[in-house]
Amino acid sequence: MSKMHLLLTIVSVCLAAIPPLPAEVRKSNSEVVALGVVGPCRSSIVDGDGIVLQDQEEVRGQETKYKVTAFSFRVDDVEKGSLDQGETMTLAYRKVILPMHFVGLQGQNEDLSEGDRVRVFAMRAPAGSSEYASAEADSILLEPNGWETIEVLAADTRKSENPRTPPRLVHSRHHGFVPDTPLRLNRTVTKRECPWLDNDIEAGTKVYLYSGYTYGTVDFRIGVAVTLAPGPNESFIELPASALSQHAV
């Protein structure tokens, strides 16, 4: 093994990705735990001192850089911290863009969008020179899972819909599908449409909603994370939401 290969191996091991924080650790490490709605978001590519780089491309280069996103957050309920209901605060999180051929710290697992209703887990923004310097945020999200979606049942829809129809999930990344009820493909999904598949998946195939961490690999605007067999330990794949149907049993 060459010295360079050995060095890269050591660095890769030292910069191993952070596993999701357990629920009890995430809460105890937070200075703020609050429920609310995400407002406008703004992102910049910065260096380690928070200086905005001229190159705003989210691509790997020779040096580590960071995509820092700051957003306003309207507080609806406070579970920890000295906040008031209805208060608006500024939060920030980062995505780490490592140099070519390096693996390691990834920052926040997934991005937020304006209008998302979430629970945030945050701590005071670091003082002095850091990648968060330009964000001017009150607090930063814990990594790598500093927020979680709040699933809200649209109770008023159950009065007008067939009682056998599952209630629609609002502010969800499940496109209206509910957990614990299988889905079926209403058409064949091919490898040409979804190149990450090992094989075409035929119409009528039964799949199940995935509820674990997707680490930002699923485009939730058009896709859904599913498993081919039930169970929390099954590997997930992304399928187009338009190819899936669900009916109460």
Residue 142 included in any domain:
yes
Over residues 30-43, the mean pLDDT reads: 94
Q: Which amino acid is at 189?
A: V
Over residues 151-162, the mean pLDDT reads: 41
Task: Indicate the pLDDT class of residue 216, thresholds 50, 70 and 90.
Answer: low
The CA distances from residue 225 to 100, 153, 166, 183, in Å, are: 28, 20, 19, 12
Over residues 134-154, the mean pLDDT reads: 82
Does 144 lie in the same domain as 156? no
> Which of 15-29, 33-47, 213-227, 235-249 is most confident?
33-47
Residue 5 included in any domain:
no
Does 99 lie in the same domain as 156? no
pLDDT of amino acid 168? 37
Domain boundary at 119, 149, 179, which?
Answer: 149
Residue 38 included in any domain:
yes
Does 168 lie in the same domain as 115? no
> Has residue 151 got a pLDDT over 80?
no
Based on the structure, what is the number of domains in the chain? 2
Task: Choose among 156, 27, 140, 162: nearest CA to 94.
Answer: 140
pLDDT of amino acid 57? 87
Q: Which residues pair with 184 in a beta bridge?
A: 206, 245
pLDDT of amino acid 16? 53
Does 157 lie in the same domain as 130? no
Domain boundary at 104, 133, 149, which?
Answer: 149
| pTM for the full predicted model | 0.57
pLDDT of amino acid 202? 95
* Cα–Cα distance measured from residue 67 to residue 225, given in angstroms and rounded to the nearest whole number: 25
Structural domain boundaries enclosing 215: 151-249
What token pair was written down for 87?
Answer: 């208060």
Does 189 lie in the same domain as 90? no
Average pLDDT score, the chain: 81
Task: Indicate the pLDDT class of residue 249, thresholds 50, 70 and 90.
Answer: very low
Domain boundary at 102, 124, 149, which?
Answer: 149
Query: What would the pLDDT profile of 182-192 be if each residue is shown by its tens digit?
Result: 999 999 999 99
Residue 2 included in any domain:
no
Residue 181 included in any domain:
yes
Does 196 lie in the same domain as 89? no
On whether the CB atoms of residues 35 and 116 are closer than 8 A, the answer is no
Residue 7 included in any domain:
no
